[in-house]
Amino acid sequence: MADQLTSTIPSLSRRAQAETSPRLTALLWEVLSDQWHPQDNPSGYVSIGVAENRLMHSELHAYIDRTFKAHDCFLTYGDGPKGSHRLRRALAQFLTKHLRSVIPLEPEHVVVTNGVTSAIEHASWAFANPGDAFLLGQPYYGAFPNDICMRPNVKLIEVRFGHELDPMSKDAVRNYEQAILDAKTQGVAVKGLMLCNPHNPLGRCYSQEVLVEYLKLCQKHKIHLVSDEIYALSVWQNNEDSSPPQLPFTSILSLDLTNLINPALVHCIWGISKDFGANGLRLACLVSQSNPAFHEALTSVALLSSASSMADHTVANLLEDAEFTDQYIQENAKRLSTAYSQVVAFLRKHKIKYTPGSNAGFFLWVDLGEAYLRKHPERRGKCDLTREVMNALLEQKLYLASGEMFGSETPGQFRIVFSHPSEYVDEALERMVKAIEVGYQGKMKAKL
């Protein structure tokens, strides 16, 4: 009887079945549920693979404790799923100031979401039909493929640059255009181009000149440009690298679009999870200044991404306090600069190559594959280098995000997130070196 019952259980949909196969994201959640603490959980994972900024947690925590006061309206739907009137007004004023928007933002330009993930998915859903495509240059933020593709059923076209072309250069724009033309010959319509500026994982800012080229490209082919600017205020002084030159951050909103592009094709995303070290508050926004139809369309799906009223109130309090936020942004930049220097000094000491020139975000793009093969030359050509290094790291209970998650064109690349207390970073780096020294022993394997 039991066999008869279980045999009749309805199967999952094809899309749900596809998500049951092991993948790197499953490993991430396993790591987050078993995090190392020197006293409470000494056998847990040390993680410098998740883009979290812990350098200012005590200051933000104290501010929220001091300013938060609950109201009855927090237990209702408030002003609706697109965010409260107060928060949308605060976001409009804050982003006009800090992103230097050439046209001042109005509350009706802003849709609040429960994180940037939802904002990205909304853009994909609204701008592309199922089977259409978004362009994404390599390497890229590892969650973009899911955010853009999974539920909207949109294709992703990865734009490659090889080993010689800087993916953030003006010349790289030609590769995007070739990808559009190639897609057209295959019957695939490209409807959007996703930029991450400042870039994750490279930690650099696009120049104004390059952004203008992207605008021209999108106008030429009538596609949407979505600029994910979640690290816009996490720009700092790099005191370690003389090249490439450090560029200031330029928001897509700060550019005069006249004679460049139909402004209805230009959109910006920002959230508090990175610049204010508050991933857990789950609050972001999508800004579109000249596309009222887009805002109207989001009314039907905004309930799926609405932020809690308590998060709404907390962030409104924060953004309305210009004195606190200005000081916070400045101090955060100083601490990020110091943390970067700490990690670079360690990498140089141990002769581990990294991509220089970061001055935004929390990242270092490092070549652990090269360091690993120096210690274990017999493994050259005999293994999947990225996965072997990943498994060696996991055996030391250390989690880094591998280049495989970021569409890296070079094996053995990993992203170090350095925005943690210095003692925690030291523990992680020592484990990293031990993993390279010892190599993979076959005791643990990433569930891929």
- How far apart are the C-alpha atoms of 277 and 290, rounded to whole Å? 30
Vertex 230: Cα angle to 225 and 231 (nearest 5): 115
Give residue 5's pLDDT band: very low, low, confident or very high (50, 70, 90).
low
Do 176 and 82 lie in one domain? The reply is yes
- What gap in Å lies between CA 421 and CA 102, rounded to an integer? 37
- Convert the pLDDT of each residue in 213-243 to its tens digit: 999 999 999 999 999 999 999 999 999 998 8
Confidence band (pLDDT; 50, 70, 90) for 21? low
pLDDT per position as a tens digit, 65-83: 999 888 888 888 889 999 9
Per the domain annotation, does 228 fall within a domain? yes
Give the model confidence (pLDDT) of 326-360 as tens digits: 999 999 999 999 999 999 999 999 999 999 999 99
Residue 107 lies in a domain: yes
Q: Residues 305, 368: one domain?
A: no
Give yes or no for a contact between 152 and 118, defined as CB atoms under 8 angstroms apart.
no
- The CATH number for 409's domain is 3.90.1150
Q: What is the pLDDT of residues 376-399, one digit of tens each?
A: 999 999 999 999 999 999 999 999
Q: Which DSSP string do the residues of 16-59 spell out, in sequence order?
A: HHHTTS--HHHHHHHHHTSB-BTTTBTTSBEE--S----TTHHH
430 shares its domain with 305: no
Question: Is the domain of 24 the same as that of 114?
Answer: no
d(CA 187, CA 184): 5
In 10 A of CB 204, how many CB atoms? 29
Tens-place pLDDT, residues 283-292 = 999 999 999 9
Q: Are residues 140 and 107 in the same domain?
A: yes
Cα 2 from Cα 422, distance rounded (Å): 56
Q: Are residues 102 and 151 in the same domain?
A: yes
**Residue 429 pLDDT > 70:** yes
pLDDT at 84 over 90: yes
pLDDT at 22 over 80: no
Residue pair 138/176 in contact by the 8 Å Cβ criterion: no
Q: Are residues 290 and 410 in the same domain?
A: no
pLDDT of residue 18: 76
Q: Give residue 249's domain range.
A: 72-324
DSSP state of 280: G
Instruction: Give the pLDDT band (50/70/90) at residue 244.
Output: confident
* pLDDT tens column, 256-277: 999 999 999 999 999 999 999 9
Same structural domain for residues 19 and 125? no
pLDDT at 155: 98
> Final residue of a domain: which of 324, 354, 389?
324
Both structure tokens of 339? 């943390």
Global pTM?
A: 0.94
Task: Kindly list the strands in the beta sheet with 413-417, ordered across the sheet, starting from the edge strand earlier in the chain.
Answer: 363-367, 413-417, 401-402
C-alpha span between 225 and 240 (Å, rounded): 33
Query: What pLDDT is stored for residue 69 in this prediction?
Result: 86
Q: How far apart are CA 409 and CA 234, in angstroms?
A: 26
**How far is 193 from 148, CA to CA, in rounded Å?**
11
147 close to 206: Cβ distance less than 8 angstroms: no
Q: Give the whole-number percent of the chain exceeding pLDDT 90.
A: 87
Residue 346 in any domain: the answer is no
Using a pLDDT cut of 70, give the percent of the chain over it: 96
- Tally of domains in the chain: 2
pLDDT value of position 78: 87
- Helices 368-375 and 385-395 cross at an angle (nearest 10°) of 80
Average pLDDT score over the chain: 94
Q: Alpha helix locations (H) across 40-198?
A: 57-67, 85-98, 116-127, 144-145, 173-185
DSSP state, 194?
E
CATH of residue 235's domain is 3.40.640.10
Neighbours of 394 (CB within 10 A): 22
- Residue 410 inside a domain? The answer is yes
Average pLDDT over residues 126-131: 98
Do 117 and 237 share a structural domain? yes
pLDDT at 71: 84
| Angle (deg, nearest 10), helices 57-67 and 322-349 | 160
Q: Is the pLDDT of residue 64 over 70?
A: yes
Q: Is residue 331 part of a domain?
A: no
15 contacts: CB under 8 Å, gap ≥ 6 = 150
Tell me, what's the pLDDT at 70?
A: 81
The residues that bridge with 46 in the sheet, in sequence order, are 398
Both 83 and 131 in one domain: the answer is yes
Task: Please say which residue of 296, 324, 352 terminates a domain.
Answer: 324
The pLDDT of residue 72: 83
Question: Where do runs of H (alpha helix) occur along 252-367?
Answer: 272-275, 292-298, 309-320, 322-349
> CA–CA distance from 120 to each of 197, 276, 303, 342 (Å)?
14, 19, 15, 33
Torsion sign (Cα): 441, 442, 447, 448: positive
- 42 and 92 co-located in one domain: no
The three-class DSSP label of residue 192 is strand
Asked if residue 47 has pLDDT above 80, the reply is yes
| Residues contacting 221, CB < 8 A, separation 6+ | 177, 180, 190
In a domain, 351, yes or no: no
Q: Give domain status of residue 411, yes or no.
A: yes
Strand, helix or coil for residue 158: strand
In a domain, residue 349? The reply is no
Q: How far apart are CA 395 and CA 287, in angstroms?
A: 43
Q: What pLDDT does residue 447 have?
A: 53
Categorize the per-residue pLDDT at 19 as very low, low, confident or very high, splitting at 50, 70 and 90.
confident
Residue of 204 and 14 predicted with greater confidence: 204
Q: Note whether 119 and 152 are same-domain residues.
A: yes
